[in-house]
Structure 1
Amino acid sequence: MRVVLSAYGSRGSVEPMAGLAVRLRELGAQVRVCAPPDEEFAQRLAGVGVEAVPVGDPVRPLVTTVTPGSAAGLAKRVADLMAAQFDTLAAAAEGCDALVATGPLPAVAAARSVAERLGARYVHASHQPVSLPSPHQAPPARRGRPLPAEESDNRALWDLDARIADEMFGEELDSRRAAAGLPPVTGVRDYAFTGSPWMAADPFLAPWRPTDLAVVQTGAWILPDDRPLPAGLTAFLDAGTPPVYVGFGSTPVQDPAGVARAAVEAARARGLRVVLARGWAGLDAVDDREDCFVVGEVNQQALFRRSAAVVHHGSAGTTTTAALAGVPQVVVAQGADQPYWAGRVAALGIGAAHDGPVPTAGSLSAALATAQAPGTRERASVVAGTVRTDGAAVAARLLLDAVGRG
């Protein structure tokens, strides 16, 4: 059985697909992952023996140069993204039995079109509940198209979101579909998501409340990481008390130097050492004192288990990894689904949600005080035992069973 996994996005989109690919391969499937051509993604996939096919433009330059919320240049990016799906993804998926896709709406709408043309089973995967239509929450705003502040009915807002999606992406999608011999689509968003999307998020950390959608919640797709920590980092960890980890993953921040300084000063005010993760934010040391260590790509699963607290941006992957490690968290959300995860961390009592995207030494110190409180640490330890680690295995079996029935 041949399966193609399509993930266009940052590390948070690619890493779970790698986890699913490993589990599918263990069940005897032939798997390849179509992902952006960023070098770090290719290295990660190669490191776990997963065949990777580069699709589209590198993501890091887009993420780090586009103004948050801006629609400038959006039409060209959408056209390029869809073209990559209809061309490169279609070629990679030729002869496959199933195609699982995650990423921005233009990418997954095009990916489903590819699956439709090839006659392959299609699954849309989301790693958080925020983007899935639900009367229990408002939709996230699309670039350049803010939602009306005076409207409070969530169903009405989701209906408006569907119309906005058609206006933004419908013409380009139908043009590509016509060239592929496919009919026009009615309702781009719902076509891409299907009536039964999969949610690859932990049911305790991110519970899905029932709606008209037949959502299949598998649990998070975690890729076990057995890479050793770098020797220098291990020596730093062994030389003193557990440090605070500070990193923003694939999310840029305003004033990286200021954020790094605020983090270091806040940790020092609490008597804590610091590990700064460069990430796409480009965090770096603020001085040459020995209580701070800077890392690049690293095994977060191993590092978090040796940390006093984790300060991060609030992606689904980092939040889940920290929760699984049983370490208190401070979430400094920058956008997208990150405020949701910040709220969940606070609601579960396993950490603090920082107020706003730009921390100061004082605001971070206060948040760390919450994270370091005995009750928070105890709660984080308890919650760690509830986080499922079999989500990717569950999804792999579901997919192969579905294809077999089909």
Structure 2
Amino acid sequence: MRVLFSTYGSRGSVEPIVGLAVRLRELGAQVRVCAPPDEEFAELLARAGVESVPAGDPVRPLVTSVTPGSAAGLARRVADLMAAQFETVAAAAEGCDVLVATGPLPATAGARSVADKLGVHYVHASHQQVLLPSPHRRPPARRGQPLPDGAIDNRALWASDAEIAHSMFGAELNTQRAAFGLPPVDSVRDYAFTERPWLASDPVLDPWLTPADVAAVQTGAWLRPDERPLPAELVDFLEAGAPPVYVGFGSMPAPAGFARAAIEAVRARGRRVVVSRGWSELDLIDDRDDCFLVGEVNQQALFARVAAVVHHGSAGTTTTATRAGVPQVVVPRGADQPYWAGRVAGLAIGAAHDDAADPTVDSLSAALGTALTPAARARATAVAGTIRTDGTTVAARLLFDSVGR
């Protein structure tokens, strides 16, 4: 079986793909991944021994330069993202049996178009359910396109979301499809998602409720064991005192002054701090010996040795922290992050910071007061024991079955 993945996004979009790609290769499949050309993604795929094909523009400059929620320059980015599917991904998909697509709607709609043109089996996969139509919650607003005022029925809102999505992306998609020899589609969102999208998330942390408007197939999160040792200097720091608090914002832009507020809040709780530099280039605020700065590191190993994890609330970091059994403080800024913050608070495995307010020393200290309690630690330990670790195996078997049929 020959499988092509198409993904576009930050580290949280690429990492799960690597996990499934490695599992498929172990089972005898041939795998290649079309991913953004950022150097760290190429290194990640190379370390895993997975063939990669650069597709689209680098993600890091986009994430760190575009205001969250802004629609400025969106039309150009959409056109470029779709073009990468019709050009680079289409060339890589020649001779493949399956094309698995994740990422923003322009990318996945383009990927399905490629699959249809080549007669390749197509799967849409999402690492969280926030964007999948469901009567159990409202759709999130799209960039520059608010939902209708006064509407309260969730199904009506999801119908509006489909119309909004098509108004944003339909003309460009159908223009590129026409050049590719394909007929137009009348709903970009529904076309890209299909009637049976995959939900690659844990059913305890991210339960898919039925009935729903799509028959989502929940595989479990696509996790890959990380065997890398922690740096010796970090190990020395961890062993020099009580477990510290981890602070990081991953590949998201952090709020102004976040590092200072977080470090001072942790200190106010009598704890040491491990700060992750990330794409926000977080840094230490002084030279005191109670703080340690890390770059790229094995989060699975590190989270198992800290007292709490303060983070932005991506699907990947939330899942890694939950699996490690460590309490969390989620500081959401947009996209699916408020959802994950709500899940952490709802499961009583940590605290959710108000997504409408900038974090301060006092607000972060209050959230840490919840996360650092024995009750939160006990609950986090209990929930960790329920997290499935077979998501890549489940997904791989589904792919083999689909090709067999």
Aligned pair 1:310/2:319, yes or no?
A: no
Determine the C-alpha separation between the residues in 2 that align with 1:122 and 1:63: 28
For residue 167 of structure 1, give the secondary structure of its aligned residue in structure 2.
helix
SS at match of 1:56: coil
Q: Give the structure 1 partner of residue 343 of structure 2.
A: 344
Shift, 1:254, TM fit: 2.2
The answer on 1:52 being equivalent to 2:52 is yes
1:245 aligned partner, one-letter code: Y
Report what 1:197 is aligned to. 197
Taking the aligned partners of 1:254 and 1:310, their CA distance within structure 2 comes to: 17
Equivalences for 1:309-328 in 2 at 5 Å? Answer: 309-328=308-327
Query: CA deviation digits over 1:351-400, x for unaligned, max 9?
Result: 00011352111111111110011111100000000000110111011111
> Equivalences for 1:324-335 in 2 at 5 Å?
324-335=323-334
Distance (whole Å) between structure 2 residues aligned to residue 89 and residue 239 of structure 1: 49
What does 1:245-260 align with in structure 2 at a 5 Å threshold? 245-255=246-256, 258-260=257-259
Q: CA RMSD in A?
A: 0.8
Find the counterpart in structure 1 of residue 239 from structure 2: 238
Superimposed CA distance per residue, residues 165-191 of structure 1 (whole angstroms, 9 cap, x where no aligned partner): 111111111111111111111211000
Task: State the 1:35 CA deviation.
Answer: 0.4
* 1:331 alignment partner AA: V
In the other structure, the counterpart of 2:187 is 187
Q: CA offset at residue 343 of structure 1?
A: 0.2
Deviation of the 1:200 alpha carbon: 0.2
Q: Name 1:43's counterpart in structure 2.
A: 43
Tell me what 2:401 maps to.
401
Q: Which residue of 2 aligns with 1:23?
A: 23
What is the Cα deviation at residue 156 of structure 1?
A: 1.1
CA distance in 1, matches of 2:331, 2:174: 39
1:137 counterpart residue number: 137
Amino acid at match of 1:34: C
Pairs within 5 Å for 1:337-376: 337-356=336-355, 358-376=358-376
Q: Write out per-residue CA displacement over residues 235-259 of structure 1, whole angstroms, 9 at most, x where no aligned residue.
A: 111111111000011110221xx11
CA distance, structure 1, for counterparts of residue 236 and residue 255 of structure 2? 31
Partner in structure 2 of residue 223 of structure 1: 224
Mean Cα displacement is larger for which, 64-73 or 352-361? 352-361
Q: Alignment partner of 1:124: what SS?
A: strand
Specify the SS of the correspondent of 1:387: coil
Q: Distance in 1 between matches of 2:125 and 2:84?
A: 19
- Secondary structure of 2:123 counterpart: strand
Residue aligning to 2:288: 289
Aligned residue for 1:389? Answer: 389
Counterpart of 1:150 in structure 2 is 150
* Matched-pair identity in %: 74
CA contact (8 A) 2:174 2:185 kept: yes
Residue 107 of structure 2 aligns with an amino acid whose one-letter code is A
Mapped to 1, the partners of 2:69 and 2:129 lie a distance apart of: 20
User: Residue deviations 1:125-150, cap 9 Å, x none?
Assistant: 00001000011111111111011342
| Structure 1 runs, 4 residues or longer, greater than 2 Å off | none
- Local SS of the residue matching 1:242: coil
Aligned residue number for residue 272 of structure 2: 273
SS of 1:252's equivalent in the other structure is coil
Q: Deviations over 1:32-55 (max 9, x none)?
A: 011000111111111111111110
The answer on 1:263 being equivalent to 2:262 is yes
Report the Cα distance in structure 2 between the residues aligned to 1:214 and 1:155, rounded to whole angstroms. 15
> Equivalents in 2 of 1:352, 1:80: separation in Å?
39
Please tell me the residue identity of whatever aligns with 1:327. V
Counterparts in 2 of 1:149 and 1:275: CA distance versus 1, 3 Å: farther
Aligned counterparts of 2:65 and 2:270: Cα–Cα separation in 1: 36
**Matched AA of 2:360:** T
Secondary structure, counterpart of 1:222 in structure 2: coil
1:302-345 Cα deviation digits (max 9, x unpaired)? 00000000000011110010000000000000110000000000
Alpha-carbon distance between aligned partners in 2 of 1:51 and 1:178, rounded to the nearest angstrom: 30
Distance 1:233 1:52 in 2: 31
2:3 — aligned with what?
3
For residues 79 and 378 of structure 2, the distance between their equivalents in structure 1, rounded to whole angstroms, comes to 49
Shift of 1:231: 1.6
Distance 1:41 1:230 in 2: 21
The number of aligned residues is: 403
Residues 1:298 and 2:297 are matched in the alignment:
yes
| 1:262-290 alpha-carbon deviations (Å, 9 max, x no partner) | 11111111110000001111110000000
Counterpart of 1:182, as a letter, is: L
TM-score, structure 1 as length reference: 0.98
Residue pair 2:7, 2:34 contacting (<8 A) in 1 also:
yes
- Structure 2 stretches lacking a partner, 5+ long: none
Contact 2:313 2:330 in 1 (8 A): yes
Q: What residue ranges of structure 1 are gaps of 5+ in the alignment?
A: none
What amino acid does structure 2 have at the position aligned with 1:393? T
Kept after mapping to 1: 8 A contact 2:275/2:283: yes
Q: Partners in 1 of 2:309 and 2:24 — Cα distance?
A: 31
